[in-house]
Structure 1
Amino acid sequence: MSEKLVYTINDENMIHQIFGDLDKNKRIIENSFNVVMKINSEGIEIIGEKEKAEKTYELIEQLVRIIKKQPLTDQQLNYTIDSVLIGKGEELEKLLEEPISYTASGKILRAKTLGQYKYINAIKKNDIVFGIGPAGTGKTYLAMAMAIKAFKNNEVRRIILTRPAVEAGESLGFLPGDLQEKIDPYLRPLYDA
């Protein structure tokens, strides 16, 4: 049976960001939740099965919270949709809490996923943390951000960068170049972060 919910909102800019340019986000949301979304005089009207309409309503609530703090990206939209679909939408508010740090250009640095949020909290609470996971998930970047934050706050006196242990069967002695040129590829991700 079809349910109709209305998310009350009268901020046209907010509605535009939720719907996206040329309704791109709207189509993604409608396809993900199998609902129809319309703009009416009260706000955003959601039409679909009861459970799906309620999940879409929850998604819009989360998107509004995100947009109030920062511009909505495609990555955030997709992650928020996935989180709401698996019932973890409420936990997303943790990501908008205090920023980790600020970049040199003044951009706010925040956890982008719940996994990153847990990783940051583990770094805050423990002396040693092992970050294991796929490439490109922010392990090195976040570890360096937390190290620099601790250094700036005088929580530590220095940051020590060490090269990783050489894998079995690998020897740095046979590579061309001096020691710095041999170690640089291992430390480059740390310098970049």
Structure 2
Amino acid sequence: MKLNQQIHHAEAIARLVGIQDRNLLVFKQYLGINVSLMGSEIITDAKKEMIPLLEAIFAVLIELAEHQVQLTERDVMYIIKLGEKNELENVFDLYRNRKKILVNDHGRSIYPKTFNQRTYVDAISNYDLVLGVGPAGTGKTYLAVAQAVADLKNNKVKKLILTRPVVEAGENLGFLPGDLKEKVDPYLVPLYDALYEMLGMQTTMSLLEKGVIEIAPLAYMRGRTLENAFVILDEAQNTTKVQMKMFLTRLGFASKMVITGDPSQTDLPKGSSASGLNQVLKILSGMDDIQIIQFDKIDVVRHPLVQRILERYETNEN
């Protein structure tokens, strides 16, 4: 079946279909339908009742491609999900007015990819304390690290501090080889990975040696006042109530804090006190000078299969 939309310019077609037609494969992976281009026409084997949705989606995709937006699989996935929710109205504005955070070590521009991500980045720029909560894969930590690196490069802060609570998820630290640092570092690998992508390994290691960047377990924050620093607490659902209060009271002058976590995925031992993240979301709710950004499954920008897995887990839990 042919859709009403057509796309004529070769450059726009290339931007629309992606490398080796990968953008079109998203429709097969997520919706279970085949979509292809035959000349300037869009062909699909979708059932008749799905055609209005596809035409709405391709109207947006074609407009973006013809305005020189290079679409990726993630973009197509997000636009499909917006189409399912009938929320395509402002997508063109989102993509045409993207706020670049920084250019990473590989020369790739990093910018928010969803409406909630844009709200999150704007909140980080304008507030001293921001909480980003929601499922894995929504870019909470990645965007926070990107903004932190941008602020460091622009001399808005003098130091980056990235921290996580060290919570054993089915394994015991005591049986891992090495000294305390070697036991703890595996828990902090995602933070190292994000910095390596933003700054490169050599620059990251140099800044770590100079103390400009610090990556440490949450316990190391006790007794400190963090001034002129950008501080990120990752995996905050694994903090206890006492730890969260301790962390929040470390905020010093000219500093910024971002707290990220997924309240549904705590690794705290059974029988321990409730998650400090869950408590702080209730305590700080409604404060004018703090922003709490709630991410949703629609913001998951990983492989389409991740979206379907999350939906299955949610159905099972309900």
TM-score w.r.t. the length of structure 1 is: 0.69
Equivalent residue number for residue 91 of structure 1: 90
Q: Which residue of 1 aligns with 2:24?
A: 25
Structure 2 residue aligned with 1:106: 107
Looking at structure 2, the residues matched to 116 and 143 of structure 1 have their Cα atoms a distance apart, in angstroms, of 10
Q: Structure 1 residue 92: deviation in Å? A: 2.4
Q: Secondary structure at the match of 1:134?
A: coil
8 Å Cα contact 2:5-2:42 kept in structure 1 = yes
Distance 1:187 1:85, change over 3 A: same
Match of 1:62 among 49, 60, 82: 60
CA 1:26–1:154 in 2, change beyond 3 Å: closer, same or farther? closer
1:135-174 matches, cutoff 5 A: 135-164=136-165
Deviation per CA, 1:64-119, whole angstroms, max 9, x where unpaired? Answer: 3543222x333321221221231221332324412221111211112222332222
The equivalent residue for 2:72 is 73
Q: Give 1:189 deviation, angstroms.
A: 1.1
1:52 positional shift: 4.8
Question: What amino acid sits opposite 1:184 in the alignment?
Answer: D
Aligned-pair identity (%):
37
Q: Kindly indicate which of the two structures has a greater share of residues assigned to strand.
A: 2
The answer to whether the 8 A contact 2:23-2:73 is kept is no
Give distance in 1, aligned partners of 2:42 and 2:173: 63
CA distance in 1: counterparts of 2:154 and 2:12, whole angstroms: 36
Please report how far the alpha carbon of residue 176 of structure 1 lies from its aligned counterpart in structure 2 after TM superposition.
Answer: 4.8
**Larger RCO (alpha carbons 8 Å, 6+ apart):** 2
Give the number of aligned pairs. Answer: 184
Q: 1:99 to 1:49 in 2, by over 3 A?
A: same
> Is 1:179 equivalent to 2:177 in the alignment?
no
- SS of residue in 2 equivalent to 1:10: coil
1:150, distance to aligned residue in structure 2 (A): 0.8
Judged with a 3 Å threshold, the aligned counterparts in structure 2 of structure 1 residues 128 and 37 are, in CA distance, closer, same or farther, namely same
The 1:22/1:171 distance shift into structure 2, 3 A limit, reads: closer
Specify the code of the residue in structure 2 equivalent to 1:138: G
**Structure 1 residues 185, 86: CA separation in 2 closer, same or farther (over 3 Å shift)?**
same
Q: Distance in 1 between matches of 2:183 and 2:22?
A: 50
The C-alpha deviation readout for 1:15-59, integer Å capped at 9, x for no partner, is 355356579829939x96x9x99868xx55799989954x54442
SS of 1:182 mapped into structure 2: helix
- Once the two structures are TM-superposed, the CA of residue 121 in structure 1 deviates from its matched residue by 2.0
Equivalent residue of 1:121, what SS? helix
Assess if the C-alpha contact under 8 Å between 2:120 and 2:132 holds in 1. Answer: yes
Q: SS at 2:163's partner residue?
A: coil
**Structure 2 stretches of 5 or more lacking a match?**
195-318
Compared CA separation, residues 65 and 108, structure 1 to 2 (3 A): farther
Residues 22 and 73, structure 2, Cα contact 8 Å, conserved in 1: no
Q: Distance in 2 between matches of 1:171 and 1:50?
A: 53
Cα distance in 2 for partners of 1:128, 1:22 equals 42
Q: What does 1:9-20 align with in structure 2 at a 5 Å threshold?
A: 9-18=7-16
Letter in 1 for 2:75: Q
The separation in 2 between residues aligned to 1:17 and 1:62, in whole angstroms, is 13
The answer on whether the counterparts of 1:18 and 1:26 sit within 8 Å (CA) in structure 2 is no
RMSD: 4.1
